[in-house]
Amino acid sequence: MPLNREQLAQRISEEIEDGFVVNLGIGIPTLVANYIPNNKFVMLQSENGLLGIGPFPMESEVDADLINAGKQTVTEALGASYFSSADSFGMIRGGHVDLTVLGAMEVDQNGDIANWMVPGKMVKGMGGAMDLVAGARRVIVAMQHADKEGNSKLRQVCTLPLTGKKCVNRIVSDFGVIDLTSEGFLLKEYAPDMTPEQVLKATEGFMRIDPNCKPIQLKDQSPS
Amino acid sequence: MRNKVYPNAQAALEGIKDNMTLVVGGFGLCGIPENCIQALKDSGAKGLTCVSNNAGVDDFGLGILLHTRQIKKMISSYVGENPTFEKQFMNQELEVELCPQGTLAERIRAGGAGIPGFYTPTGVGTKVAEGKEVKVFEGREYLLERGIKGDFAFVKAWKGDKFGNLIFRKTARNFNPMAATAGKITVAEVEELVEIGELPPDQIHTPGIFVQRIFKGQNYQKRIEQKTVRKVSILCP
């Protein structure tokens, strides 16, 4: 069975180390925050100018001056700080953010990522995505392995306009955990009830199977 | 001392003309200069180029200037959430320059700091790089991006004094400090306007040198785009 959205988020949460500063994109990446265990000290960065995102506010705490990059009302975590957009992207571009997790429409075997526009459709803009993939120390992509028609989104070459070149370190898809190497995709883990060969078959780009490839193991855990 | 204090937004906009470039603070609807935007609408100035991270929503923020077709061009990083924008853009009635958010922040910062251009790794190998100089530093490619200055800049702060010193609040700071530096005339609207000496010098985010005009804003709506709440209280350990 491919992973569902919550399981994807849970698997990605294991990529987060104690002491990390992490920027989570909109969608599945946002769910990752729910699975960070309490014994890890993690600061979540919001590119609109907050380091230390707390949980959603109680109704009585809602503050129009306190939102995340998705424009949702949030609270501040202990140890939080506020700053300007220039400082925020100084953190991001300057390599001070340990990890970013983003969604993608396509990733190719060179580590190029496309996640901001589809020609012919209304373009909403790249927001901070191009800065994040260019500057974060580690870029993890959370994505569906295939589109609704079953076409692989892990391509030989991206067909959509790029967000960044050679910048993805790891993909966590509903089919598996895949690293980007100088020789294309490397399958490290696969979804339970699938086989590495099935993942390989579902991938358009060049993929090798790691000799130590193993099934994804998720701890019994509900969101914290 | 030169008086910087204006009675209201309408007065503070004196000198606004058609075809001007305006740098406007705010992220989404958070920290936007609500009074100035309304006064811009009332001024009827058109052909405007607005440099702002977003374009507001249909009936609020810069969106209201799209409705009246006063904006000719937007320079922004993200313009979703706005059907009027979409319609005018698709009909090619509106020019749009999409710029990565960090690049936009730095372009405004640079413009205000006397730096005409800078190199950034953001956007290398993408559509954003088209027509721009690429230079290699220590084996990595960077794009030349240009600083931005405005005829006017409009910012919203929490507190300000009569010299123009500003303090922002929480994430309503966002693009406002950079925008404040980038206007030939910077207009600051504040929730609380105090006497010189009342703001602690160590707490000031934008020194008054950058602000030419200041007024106390009125009737702030502070709209929330996505109100998200939790039901249960979380106890801190």
The tens digit of pLDDT for each residue in A57-85 reads 999 999 999 999 999 999 999 999 999 99
A221 assigned to some structural domain: no
Position A169 in a domain: yes
Q: Test A49 with B77 for CB contact under 8 angstroms.
A: no
Which CATH class name applies to B9-216? alpha beta
Please tell me if residue B27 touches chain A, with a CB cutoff of 8 Å: yes
The string of pLDDT tens digits covering residues B36-48 is 999 999 999 999 9
pLDDT at B129 over 80: yes
List the single residue in A58, A84, A88 with the smallest CB-CB distance to B233. A58
- CB–CB contact A134 B126 (8 Å): no
Q: Is the ipTM of this complex over 0.90?
A: yes
Give the per-residue pLDDT at B61. 97
Q: Which residues contact B165 (CB under 8 A, 6 or more apart)?
A: B199, B204, B206, B207, B208, B211
d(Cα B186, Cα B184) in Å, to the nearest integer?
A: 6
B174 contacts in chain A (CB < 8 Å): 48-49, 84-85
pTM of the model: 0.96
Find the CATH number of the domain harbouring A172: 3.40.1080.10
Residue-number span of the structural domain to which A115 is assigned: 5-215
**Mean pLDDT value of segment B65-69:** 96
Q: Is A82 an 8 Å CB contact of chain B? A: yes
- Is A181 within 8 Å of chain B by CB? no
Q: Kindly tell me if the per-residue pLDDT of A193 is higher than 50.
A: yes
Whether residue A132 lies inside any domain: the answer is: yes
In chain A, % helix, strand, coil (3-state, to 5) comes to 20, 30, 50
Q: Which residues of B touch A123 (CB under 8 A)?
A: 98
Q: Does residue A220 fall inside a structural domain? A: no
Residue with token string 């294309």:
A184
Q: What is the mean pLDDT of chain B?
A: 96
Judge whether residue B235 has pLDDT over 60. no
Closest chain A CA to residue B55: A124
For B72-99, write each residue's pLDDT tens digit: 999 999 998 788 888 898 888 999 999 9
Q: What kind and span of H or E run contains A76?
A: strand A76-82
Give pLDDT, residue A221: 65
Residue A210: predicted pLDDT: 98
pLDDT on residue A222: 63
Q: Are A160 and A117 in contact (CB under 8 A)?
A: yes
What pLDDT does residue B1 have?
74
Residue among B122, B134, B220 with most chain A CBs within 10 A, to mutate: B122
B113 touches chain A (CB under 8 A): no
Contact B30 A48 (CB under 8 A): yes
Q: Mean pLDDT across the stretch B197-220?
A: 98
Judge whether residue A212 has pLDDT over 90.
yes
Confidence of residue A223 (pLDDT cuts 50, 70, 90): low
Does residue B220 contact residue B34 with C-beta atoms inside 8 Å? Answer: yes
Residue A8 pLDDT > 90? yes
Residue A149 neighbours by CB distance under 10 Å = 5
Among A212, A155, A162, A215, which residue's Cα sits nearest to residue A185? A155
Partner-chain contact B77 A58, CB within 8 Å: no
Residues in chain B: 237
Residue of A nearest to B220 (CA): A64
Residues of B within 8 A of A78 (CB-CB) are 236
- Of B63-67, B161-165, B232-236, which range is least confident? B232-236
Instruction: Please indicate, yes or no, if residue A13 is contained in any of the structural domains.
Output: yes
Catalytic residue among A6, A14, A15, A47: A47
In a domain, A224, yes or no: no
Q: Which residues of B174-196 are buried (b: 16+ CB within 10 A; e: fewer)?
A: bbbbbbbbbbebbbbbbbebeee
pLDDT, position A219? 83
Residue-wise pLDDT tens digits, A173-187: 999 999 999 999 999
Is the pLDDT at A42 greater than 90? The verdict is yes
Average pLDDT, chain A: 96
Q: How many domains does chain A have?
A: 1
Token output for B221: 């709506």
Q: What number is the average pLDDT over the span B193-217?
A: 98
**Closest CA in chain A for residue B90:** A122
Q: Please identify which residue in the block is written with the tokens 């180029």.
A: B49
Subunit contact B101:A47, Cβ cutoff 8 A: yes
User: Would you call A47 a catalytic residue per the annotation?
Assistant: yes
Domains of chain B, residue spans = 9-216
Write the residue in A73, A131, A161 that is nearest to B100 by C-beta. A131
Whether B174 has a pLDDT exceeding 60, the answer reads yes
Question: Percent of chain B having pLDDT more than 90?
Answer: 91
* Within-domain flag for A222: no
Using the Cβ of B174 and the Cβ atoms of chain A, whether some distance falls under 8 Å is answered with yes
Share of chain B above pLDDT 70, in %: 98
The per-residue pLDDT for range B4-44, each reduced to its tens digit, is 999 999 999 999 999 999 999 999 999 999 999 999 999 99
Express each pLDDT in A47-59 by its tens digit: 999 999 999 999 9
In a domain, A159, yes or no: yes
Closest by CA position to B75, among listed B153, B176, B148: B148
The pLDDT-based confidence of B237 (bands split at 50, 70, 90) is very low
For residue B115, pLDDT over 90 is answered with: yes
